Structure 1
């Protein structure tokens, strides 16, 4: 059985959306069980509407819920050990769950996850990986907001994390990997990106195929299976793509309703427009995976509906089923075993920011 812990108080809609999502996943997956954390007065009534779900769900009452506007430091100070978000993460740490899903405050979720689970031994900073719809299918893009700024070694770590996720999710043996840059020429870009490119070219027998630099327009083309960048650029790219998708949808909606002939034409092309809408719907691939931690954490969109939250649960389910953490650990061990001593990462002071 795959056990998924759920922060039922996260997101804009809470249990009213989250519990129906659990029902949808349980209908499709007969080997899943849930551990749900939240306030009993709001979660229990929703659970009671679905007796079959209640049979496969372990519920834990929590007095505290992390607010969507809480600062990470506030969330840690007031919610550590007792909030629904913390306890859902802690369930992964203590082994009572295999993955945690939350639609709550992203900064708080990352801060609590880092504090509770810690990063893997050779990882300096975690990354948030997003699944990106492309003209060729889907790609993994990271980091999309966890680490602002990254040195060459951290970018290499992100490449290893992202390629392991692509192998686990898409069934690839050697995903293609590219570093996001302002041009494909080797002389362009920041020194950190160029240094990361040299490290990846010299990495040897990693389970990836490094293709060099890619530009912003290559993300949507699906030029590579994994696009690697630091969190500032990655988050801007993600939000720009989401905004552009909504903008195009509004343009199409306005154009299709402008004249009688346009409305008639829409009726004939309704199926094609529905397929386009599904392809552009960010909810279809809802969920960002926190990579580099000693546990699987999936962040759902705060405004997700039940279908979108179910997609985030399914993503966590697939990461567990396909042994994501084992793949990452094996790839990290291989890279650090083969890395020449001259390229070893310089010692850094201990990070006590979470203490």
Structure 2
């Protein structure tokens, strides 16, 4: 069996391998000074003199729903700092200096370790994408292939700009909440708490001067604006099973894709907003959405944590819907100084923008 790790091309001494690479002979041959272990394993009785190496262990399984994304900054910063050193450990002053070399390994050197290595490359080299970084690794390790869940996490990391403060990123927080929702829905329930998007920090948006507002047809109360709408493309054919799935938590909240008009599409899907709180905190799996205007209280939509199908054929799960027949759509020209997105926010965090409206007519 070949126990040698694979060295990445370039100036940095970066290696990737499996647990079989952890032999004194292999480590000494490749001048390894730092080891990143990406697996659950007890190394206490492993036949290596650990005093010779600096060691970081990330205990994760190779499954798609494992959270490696939250470890990318920890491992990236550790590898960066390791490669800046000279490979000398504490107490080695008398030994000849040598360049640091980092081995990133998991069980097989195929998925977890490759994911961590890709994340490091994305962090250090902004011109790379997850797929181009993977292609580089596959040149020296052809069977390298992170599982689909890890690739999705790398893509999200890339889209966020490989932030150093990942815990504070709205997209990361939304992704964590998505995991809770998916687990609850899979077990026939609903999450223990509801993330109301208009109360959360939002991603910076590119304003084009136009924004869509959906209003109650009865009282004209604004219900939702563009940043909180969930785009979905009508499917060409309606079938009896979910043939097209939209996951609200993974749909970008910062923009509304232009979707083709479809006569049979009767829903506006949106993220949970604070005006829904009285209904959603009842703990029901499904129910009605009423206009938050206390003098109106007209039914404007419905929700279902287990999902619902739009009349155009798209299945959305979980689903929060405004019925087009009970709402009007307005296009506005907006100069925004705050981040309210047209939603009524608590005093003190409202924007001071001005709005010019152009009625598009009832739907």
Q: Whose relative contact order is higher, 1 or 2, with alpha carbons under 8 Å and at least 6 apart?
A: 1
Return the TM-score normalized by structure 1.
0.25
Q: Is the radius of gyration larger for structure 1 or structure 2?
A: 2
Higher fraction of strand: 2
Return the TM-score normalized by structure 2.
0.25
Higher fraction of helix: 1
